[in-house]
Structure 1
Amino acid sequence: MTKVRGLLPVVGAVLIVAAAVLLLGFSDTLNPLDAIRGLGRVVTVPDFAGSPLPRARAEAENLGLKPDTRSAFSLTAPRGTIIGQKPAAGQKARSGDPIELVVSSGVNRTRMPAAVGRPIAEVTRELGDPGVPVEIIEVSNETVANGIVVAQSPAPDVLVAQAGSVRLEVSSGPDSRPVPDLTGLSIEGAAFRLGKAGLLFGPVTQADDPAVVAGAVISSAPAQGTKVPKDTPVALTVSNGSAPIPVPEVTKTQQVPATEVLRAAGFLVDVAGQLVVTGDPGVGNVFGQNPVAGTPYRPGQVVTIVVGRVPPPRRAATTTTTLATTPTGSSTTTTVKASTPTTKAGG
């Protein structure tokens, strides 16, 4: 009996603790077992969004939570109000736990930098740090390099809100332009037309082409119509005319057939005379040619032939004599035609 009486206080204490656990174990109040383990009571985290910081801080502290604050810009929330929290509203926490409260510092405002003449990457990096949205518009420009800002809105030093809009016009460099048609032009004409188009005169390559006159442009690279940036060099292929062929042999032939042979081969013909005596069998014959037969020569070039010719006939001399004045006061003029005596063979 003595042992039973000694156990009664212990059993009673256990029953009391068990009843307390059953009654309080699932409430938001202090759990006796947690209290025994040194843990705080369980609370439901309120929604602090929109509350002024002092009110939110006081409410959190009343629940036994430990507020920790940080600031962030907001486009909509007034300065000093709560815009975020962790743990989120509705979650469970214990008294003594920390809670992070994010406080609005209001709308961010940035001083607009001077952007014109600067690289777009540099300007957007400067505006991107505070989070200002930037609208970039590319425009062609004949004088400003690609990627350089040519216009801005708003002007420098204007305060821009984070919700504001910044517009920057950025050079994309000169507009592309088509390569003009240069076919058939002389080198000088092609250079002039390229200059008018804003392009540069490039290297020249010679090529044989019987269909294109010597000295005229056959083709260009880039080809006609290709769009290229300003100051792009354009290379030209210029015709030498037809490929060289051997000059035909026309000496010791008459002028007319010799000329026909040379023209049939595509050459131009120039005739030079060589005097021979009358009756010489070489009259009308080709005595020589330049270039000589067999020389490689391009059709369209001039071949000179030397043809035998007799000297022109000599004209008879005419002598005019004025006689003395007659008694009547008139004068008499007598024309005497002198002839060159002819010597006959054997006479």
Structure 2
Amino acid sequence: MGARMMASRNCFSLILFLATWCSSLAIAQSTTPQTGSANTDTQNPSQLLHALDQLVEQNGELEKQNRDLLNQIASLRQVLAKQAGGADPTQKEAIPATDSTTGTDSAQSQESSAASKVFSSEEEPSKWGGYTPNFGYKVVNTEHGDLNISIYSYARYLNQLGLDPKYTDAFGNTKSVQQRQDFQLQKVQIKFLGWVMDPRFRYFLYGWTSNASQGLAAQVVLAGNLNYSFNKHINIGAGIRSLPGTRSVEGNFPFWLGVDTRLIADEFFRPSYTSGVWGWGQITDKLDYIVMLGNNLSTLGVSAAQLNNGFDTLSTSLVWTPTTGEFGPGFGDFENHQKLATRLAAHFTRSDEDKQSQPNSDGFENTQ
């Protein structure tokens, strides 16, 4: 009996030992994953903090780059403004202050806006100067003077094959007619005009040619004049200009009815171009005058050695515009007047020069 109880007790102790060992093993196995999970949880925040530090550092670098770019854009704007003459190069554009948390978006938006303006200015072709009718294109504009360039030219095709080869004049004389057919760059005129030193001191220089008349004298001309304006009543000039003996030589070229051609009556009476001095201005708001004292009736083909030693050529014009106070520069109504414009004028020319012909020649040269 005692032996049996002893055996039962030993068996129970063995079973209890095995149960205790298994539960300990299960607890150990269940504890191991929890420990690994705890280690993982303790490692993730550190990695996130490290990544956050990197982002903050990158953000700071971006802010620095933004500020540098805005500084470069401001400098570029100052250079462009200085070149254009429209801004003070000492002025600097204000760069808005930014911090690491709230100013980045503002700086980036301003950066993109400024950059887009710079890029758009680079893409658009640059334009400078201006155009004024009858004055041409302004190519220089400084505090010491300005310069305008104007070009007048045209090409012409002439066909006279339909004319009769001969004609009879009023005296019964039969003459031959040259039946021309040719192309010509008929006229070329390049004008340089503006003021220098003082806006009241003006210059007008030009090159002029009549290519269809190249075989004749003085068909390529470089000429001009200088003028000074005291007020609207008194202006003086010196150089080469047309004697104001008819309407077409008052200074209204090229505003004529025909292309580079005068009316027949005007062409018959008019004097030509010469060197001299002159004055012009307004006597009243509706009454203008021009007075010129010149070397001769025409300086074309005449050298200074052929001139008389006196100023014997005088030409004047007096123009009255009673209704509107102006008539426009041309013969036609290029200005589209809605009110009746009237023009009354008187001209006078006298020249006591001789014919100023070349030696051993009876041909007149002091004529147009």
Task: Give the TM-score range, shorter chain.
Answer: under 0.3
- The two structures have a TM-score, normalised by structure 2, of 0.23
Q: Which structure's residues are more often helix, by fraction? A: 2
- The two structures have a TM-score, normalised by structure 1, of 0.24
